[in-house]
Structure 1
Amino acid sequence: MTFVSYGLPYFRRLPGGLTGDLVGTHLPRLLADPTRSVLDEAVPAPTDVHPDNPTVTKKRFTVPVRIETNDLLFTVRSDRAAVIQDVLAWFDGNGTLAGRPTPPPAFAGLLTITSSRHMFTQVGLPRSVAEQNQLPYARFIQPDSPMWMGFSDQQVNASGPPEICTFAGHPSARLSTARPGDYLDNGSIQHLSHVILDMLQFYDMAAPGTPPSDNGNFTKRVQYMFHAPPVHPGNPDQLTDGGGPSFLPAENRGPDYAERTARGIGLPRGERRMGHLSTLQRSSRASDGTPMHLRVDGPGFDPMDTPDGSSQPKLHFSVFVPTADFFARMRRSQASVDLVRKHRVAEQDNGLERFLTCTRRQNFLIPPRRHRAFPLVELAD
């Protein structure tokens, strides 16, 4: 399966650019603000390392985020790694596909590959990669999880129906001026970012050879990921093999739950804490509770952007959303800096933010399949 998405630089190359009739006529606008289009460039998140956030640093990976300027994004997915490798080699000009002679795409002089990111999704694979590379926290990773942090993404009840992520919308929500039959009606926004995961800090290990503290216990980690107080007590051994289950319900607690726990409501006396899922739910769902995003990401393990060139656990994050503005709001909700300041929530009690270093971001527009090859070009004079 291959997705083809287009960044703002592509649309700037079209006749008239972003403000011309060609793009301006066909690019949907925001219903809430018709002066803005569905495609804005990505912006640094409130907890990204960036000059806009002068007080933000990370414990191990203080790498500034950069907003990339790619024209196109190809997302190639398969259950078999050999299929993906075959397609990438064909893109690179080897002249064969599925073992048959196939002329490669005529990219010479047209496209330059700027980067390639390799994600993997398989139950237990992060644990296997950690063991193969003798990572100091390998035995703490949940062996049944497809994700580095040990909890499985609950795609069944935490992802929206495909239509709600499109410009034309869904009965539960519609955020743009697009209507069925418009050129880009079933298009969507694809956000892509590259995230280094500080797994030593996730298990609260001061150094590779030191044991985790109590803040690395399952009962703390499950709160950072989901909601506070803990949605599951975990095992008597809170660390080995993750210290608890990988599969847990991604309950919708509503848009106000993060502020409740930031105030300490429902938590032991004196504790104030927000879970990652709690903060996302401030803005990630329609008014009837329907999720408004579809994730297409996965873990990785590579040296891209690491300060010392070492391979580190990664999240190659990618998601389909109805507008770029929606993603920016959802990412601000995830950081919840406003609630941190308002209710004096400690950095160590604000979801996953301190474990994540995003080094690259960009927004793309993925057109409907019928227009996925160089959209709008056929309409140019």
Structure 2
Amino acid sequence: MSDSYGIDRREFVKAAVAIGGASALSACLDRGPEIDVPRGPEDPASAFPERQHAWNAALPTDDAGNNHHPRHRVLLPLSYGDGMPTDAERETVEAALAGLERAYERSAAGLLLTVSYSPYYFDRFDESLPESVDLPEPRALADFEDPDADDIDAIVHLASDHGEVVMGAEEALKGEVDELNGVSQPDASLTDVFTLGERRTGFIGDGLPAENQDVDGVPDDGPVPEDAPLYMGFESAFQGNQPGEDRVTIQSGPFAGGTTQQLSTLTLNLKQWYEQDSRDQRVSKMFCPHHASEGTVEGTGENLGTDPQMDDCGDPTETARSEGVVGHGQKMVDVREDDAPIILRRDFDSTDQDRAGVHFLSLQRTIEDFVTTREAMNGDDVASNSAVGQRTNNGILQYIDTVRRGNFLIPPRSLRALPPANPADDAAENAEVAHA
């Protein structure tokens, strides 16, 4: 629906999120209608789960049973600088975060957030991270990759169905607003402790990519399907393609209840995807050739419900030999435990730098789980035993480039404010892992 300014409100909100700042927030609020977001609890520490990443219970599901992921996202990169964190700084960070949680309900309609820390942050401590935490520095994971290392100290992930909520939360964390959703905010901000880097933004959800395709990397004629949730035109986060949160949660040690986060910035080149490849070729490369020949995927794939039916696709190597192409999803079938993947995806599209891209954010118990999954995506064995190339006709590899990659630890909630590298045992005893 267009407002009195003649601009579709959803498109305006998305643009405001991308721009950011107090003026964009104010302009967005002025356009109304005023959103009604329930407030959070007075004491978030006792009301919220110890697992920061335990979002699933706070997400609604669609008619098929897939989780509905928050439509608007902001990533705030943070640099701490030199030296060791102080108790006073920890109190400031925790106060700023808790202020958001009192202002907004913990849900997709309210606000979901995580705070994570890189290996570069932990390098400042004399102690090493415990053996139960796998947090190496990021590296290239294919011969054709050369990503920059995301060497910031920390990053905050803000997510909501309402662009006004993520913008308001960002301004509060910067100390720019005294009140949020009718709740007074503390005299504490992340910028009292951290230096804020270049913000990153994005979106996911039916119609949003089509409304934001006037950017580099997408053909000029606007080919993204109007109802697609992602730029490449298909549903992605099928429930059958996601593990449970238990599978990605660290189970022992002082960071039990936490998880690791991998964050890759990808650029998309969709000109060949839409201008040269046919619909059947796109289905073959995203899913598998069997799905293309059998007409398994209708539209964006909503007809598949919660299961993309990858078990019907056959062996990737045999398919590559017989068909000259192999599907992205097809290659992932072997990287499963108990018939579920080992990484939990919470990625989203982006128009940062006025280019179509993806912030590929995944959660996993160890970074090695992501490495294993990425190696399967590379399909080196498939490429060396068929006419499929290292990137051409090898899933979706030829359409994406990894320009930046970072590895992070999302600690349990009780340790989210400037954690030490190896917290005392008594702090870890407060983590309720099994029933968080």
Which letter maps to 1:124? G
For the residue of structure 1 that corresponds to 2:272, the secondary structure is: helix
Matched, 1:300 2:411: no
Partner of 2:379: 336
TM-score, scaled to structure 1? 0.73
For 1:12 and 1:351, the matched residues in 2 are separated by 37
Matched, 1:364 2:408: yes
- Match among 305, 319, 330 for residue 261 of structure 1: 319
1:26-53 CA-partner distances (Å, limit 9, x unpaired): 340xxxxxxxx52222221215432xxx
For 2:382 and 2:219, the matched residues in 1 are separated by 34
Structure 1 residues 195, 333: closer, same or farther in 2, change over 3 A?
A: same
For 1:254 and 1:364, the matched residues in 2 are separated by 35
For the residue of structure 2 that corresponds to 1:154, the secondary structure is: coil
Structure 1 residues 255, 99: closer, same or farther in 2, change over 3 A?
A: same
- Match among 112, 115, 121 for residue 10 of structure 1: 121
Which letter maps to 1:125? L
Which letter maps to 2:266? V
Partner of 1:282: 334
Matched, 1:143 2:226: yes
Structure 1 residues 68, 7: closer, same or farther in 2, change over 3 A?
A: same
Does the aligned pair in 1 maintain the 2:173–2:191 contact within 8 Å?
no
Which letter maps to 1:43? R
Structure 1 residues 251, 234: closer, same or farther in 2, change over 3 A?
A: closer
Partner of 2:81: none
Which letter maps to 2:287? F
For the residue of structure 2 that corresponds to 1:87, the secondary structure is: helix
Partner of 1:224: 285
Partner of 1:201: 272
Identity of aligned residues (%): 25
Partner of 1:73: 155
Partner of 2:199: 116
- Match among 61, 83, 91 for residue 173 of structure 2: 91
For the residue of structure 2 that corresponds to 1:85, the secondary structure is: helix
Deviation larger for 123-132 or 355-364? 123-132
For the residue of structure 1 that corresponds to 2:219, the secondary structure is: coil
For 2:292 and 2:346, the matched residues in 1 are separated by 25
Which letter maps to 2:148? R
Partner of 1:129: 212
Structure 1 residues 108, 80: closer, same or farther in 2, change over 3 A?
A: closer
Which letter maps to 2:348? G
Does the aligned pair in 1 maintain the 2:260–2:365 contact within 8 Å?
yes
- Match among 341, 350, 353 for residue 291 of structure 1: 341
Which letter maps to 1:292? I
- Match among 408, 411, 419 for residue 375 of structure 1: 419
For 1:17 and 1:70, the matched residues in 2 are separated by 20
For the residue of structure 1 that corresponds to 2:340, the secondary structure is: coil
Pairwise CA distance, 1:119: 1.1
Partner of 2:325: 273
- Match among 312, 318, 324 for residue 367 of structure 2: 324
Structure 1 residues 155, 87: closer, same or farther in 2, change over 3 A?
A: same
For 1:191 and 1:17, the matched residues in 2 are separated by 23
For the residue of structure 2 that corresponds to 1:229, the secondary structure is: helix
Pairwise CA distance, 1:326: 1.1
Does the aligned pair in 2 maintain the 1:340–1:350 contact within 8 Å?
yes
Matched, 1:350 2:394: yes
1:318-369 CA-partner distances (Å, limit 9, x unpaired): 0111111111111111011232123231342101001001111011011122
For 1:39 and 1:154, the matched residues in 2 are separated by 25
1:84-114 CA-partner distances (Å, limit 9, x unpaired): 0011112222132335542353445631122
Q: What are structure 2's unaligned runs of at least 5 residues?
A: 1-111, 426-436
- The higher relative CO (CA closer than 8 Å, separation ≥ 6) is in 1
Pairwise CA distance, 1:256: 7.6
For 1:133 and 1:351, the matched residues in 2 are separated by 22
For 2:255 and 2:342, the matched residues in 1 are separated by 18
For the residue of structure 1 that corresponds to 2:280, the secondary structure is: helix
For the residue of structure 2 that corresponds to 1:362, the secondary structure is: strand
Does the aligned pair in 1 maintain the 2:209–2:228 contact within 8 Å?
yes
Correspondence 1:38-53 to 2 at 5 A = 38-46=134-142, 48-50=144-146
Matched, 1:167 2:250: yes
Which letter maps to 1:340? A
1:252-301 CA-partner distances (Å, limit 9, x unpaired): 4399822221232xxxxxx3211111122232x11x31222211111111
Give the count of matched residue pairs: 308
Which letter maps to 2:177? G
Structure 1 residues 133, 99: closer, same or farther in 2, change over 3 A?
A: farther
RMSD (CA atoms): 2.8
Does the aligned pair in 1 maintain the 2:134–2:368 contact within 8 Å?
yes
Which letter maps to 1:221? R
Partner of 2:308: 250
- Match among 320, 333, 357 for residue 314 of structure 1: 357
Deviation larger for 350-359 or 336-345? 336-345
Q: What are structure 1's unaligned runs of at least 5 residues?
A: 29-36, 51-64, 169-177, 204-211, 236-241, 265-270, 304-310
Structure 1 residues 322, 48: closer, same or farther in 2, change over 3 A?
A: farther
Structure 1 residues 133, 260: closer, same or farther in 2, change over 3 A?
A: closer
